[in-house]
Amino acid sequence: MRRTIKLVTLAAMLAVFAAPALAQSKECNDENKAAWYDTFLKNYKGEPPQQKIAYDAAKLYLTSCPEDPADQVAAFMKNKFVVPYEKMTAGTDVVKQFEAAINSKNYGEQMRLGKLVLASEPDNTKVYIILGVAGLNDPSLLSDSAQYAAKAIEMIEGGKPFAPLFDGSKGKALAQLNYAIAKSTVKNDPTAAIPFFVKALKPESDLKKNPQVYAQLAGAYGAGPVTKLANDYKIFVGKDETPESKLALANLNQVIDRQIDALARAAAVATDPADKKNVMDVLTAIYKDRNKSEAGLNELVAGILQKPLPDFPTPLTSLPTVSTPATTGSPSGTNGTASSNTGTNGQGTNGQNKTGATGATGAQNGNKTTSAPKPSPSPTPANKKPRRANHRHG
């Protein structure tokens, strides 16, 4: 028992003496400063370098001694090693967290951490792409995503490498990035979103098989140029036909035909019978109003995927010199020979679906369509069709 008491007492005495000794080891004196600097140099320039040991020795020097502008040793260790080392290790930690956010599909963290990575790696194409498409999985990030998507597109088209993302496929990467910009734009400016939808749907990617994306393109046409040009055409309704009225109708018809083209593609790629029916209901109403008949509609849908997706049309400034009958369902029918009743053109596709995307097929879940809005009334004044006797288009 006495031996135990003596051991405890001895341990306590050692602890009392050890504390001042530890404090003494951090005292800023010439001897300690020389020892710390020597440890730093041996590991800073060692073979191989032991950077963590060098860093600990340098930090001990810098934190133990008051800052002295005349201390060139302290300035060297701080500016040439400590500051760069801390940036490097901090960046490594952020990169690891960023990769973890990618693996866990935490899109909010991807956006937050990706911005930090780009602060030290501003030319990292991979990070721009990941941030650019994050909004496709989290709509709350779409606004931010669009900015990074635009930069990523610029970098990819400039030849920056981005593998292994999207299997190294430039087309797949550009499709997703343009789609992100389209989705972020369509609500506030559907007309501006159309070229991005088109760019998203032209490359070979999964988007070309998604009826929802084609429906969103049709919805953008309906909410944007179709609505605008239908309103522009209203001033000619009930009046004698003029070159100006013909030109207004020709411009309206060519955007209606683009809308029909997009809906036909949505119907062609839809694999669920309910999806196909919902799209066809809207498509049929618009097609019939445009062409005064359903003739050729099924043939249009059957062959639409063999045709290239048309670009946003250039506004017509003059009529063709030779008038030809409108091609049924053609995206280029611009000769003004369509029905004088603008009817449901563009209006059946303005429904807002549950995912927030404007589309012709109503509420959708992924590729699943649950309902379709009925075509709404004509954009022309109620019950006032153009007088065919004085304003013929056929």
Cα(165)–Cα(173) distance, rounded to whole angstroms? 8
Q: Which of 132, 151, 176 is the last residue of a domain?
A: 176
Asked whether residue 161 falls in the same domain as residue 35, the answer is: yes
Cα–Cα distance for residue pair 28/30, rounded to 1 Å: 7
Distances (CA, A) of 311 to 255, 297, 371: 10, 21, 28
Residues 165, 167, 170, 171: is their CA dihedral positive or negative? negative
In this structure, the answer to whether residues 156 and 221 fall within a common structural domain is no
What per-residue confidence (pLDDT) applies to 368? 37
Q: Is residue 154 part of a domain?
A: yes
Same domain, 273 and 315: yes
- Encode pLDDT of 137-166 as tens digits: 999 999 999 999 999 999 999 988 877 788
Do 289 and 246 belong together in one domain? yes
Decide which of 84 and 239 is more confident: 239
Q: How many domains is the chain partitioned into structurally? A: 2
User: Which of these ranges, 34-38, 74-78, 119-123, has the smallest mean pLDDT?
Assistant: 119-123
Predicted pLDDT of residue 215:
96
In which band, very low, low, confident or very high, does the pLDDT at 184 lie, cut at 50, 70 and 90?
A: very high
The predicted pLDDT at position 182 comes to 97
| Residue 389: inside a domain | no
Query: Residue 47 has what pLDDT?
Result: 65
- In this predicted structure, the answer to whether residue 34 has a pLDDT above a threshold of 50 is yes
Domain boundary among 157, 176, 195: 176
228 lies in the same domain as 100: no
pLDDT tens profile 294-327: 999 999 999 999 999 999 999 999 987 765 444 4
Question: Does residue 272 sit in the same domain as residue 363?
Answer: yes
Question: Is the residue at 172 inside a domain?
Answer: yes
Domain limit, last residue, from 130, 155, 176? 176
Omega before residue 48 within 30° of 0, cis: yes
pLDDT at 90: 61
* Longest distance between any two alpha carbons in the chain, whole Å: 125
In a shared domain, residues 119 and 227: no
> What whole-number distance in Å separates Cα of residue 385 and Cα of residue 282?
21
Closest Cα partner for 177 from 160, 346, 191? Answer: 160
Q: Which of 101, 159, 158, 160 is nearest to 134 (CA)?
A: 101
Which domain does 262 fall in, by range?
210-369
Distance CA 100, CA 113 (A): 10
Query: Has residue 288 been placed in a domain?
Result: yes
Residues 222 and 333 in one domain: yes
In a domain, 375, yes or no: no
Cβ within 8 Å of residue 210, ≥6 positions away: 269, 367
| In a domain? residue 48 | yes
Those residues whose C-beta lies under 8 Å from the C-beta of residue 311, and which sit 6 or more positions away, are 195, 198
- Structure pTM? 0.63
Q: Provide the β-strand partners of residue 365.
A: 368
Tell me, yes or no, whether 126 and 218 share the same domain: no
Domain with 147 in it: what CATH number? 1.25.40
3-class DSSP assignment, residue 369: strand
Residue 1 domain-assigned (yes or no):
no
Q: What pLDDT is recorded for position 91? A: 61
The reply to whether 162 and 276 lie within a common domain is: no
Residue 153 shares a structural domain with residue 250: no
Residues 171 and 215 reside in one and the same domain:
no
- Tell me if 116 is assigned to some domain: yes
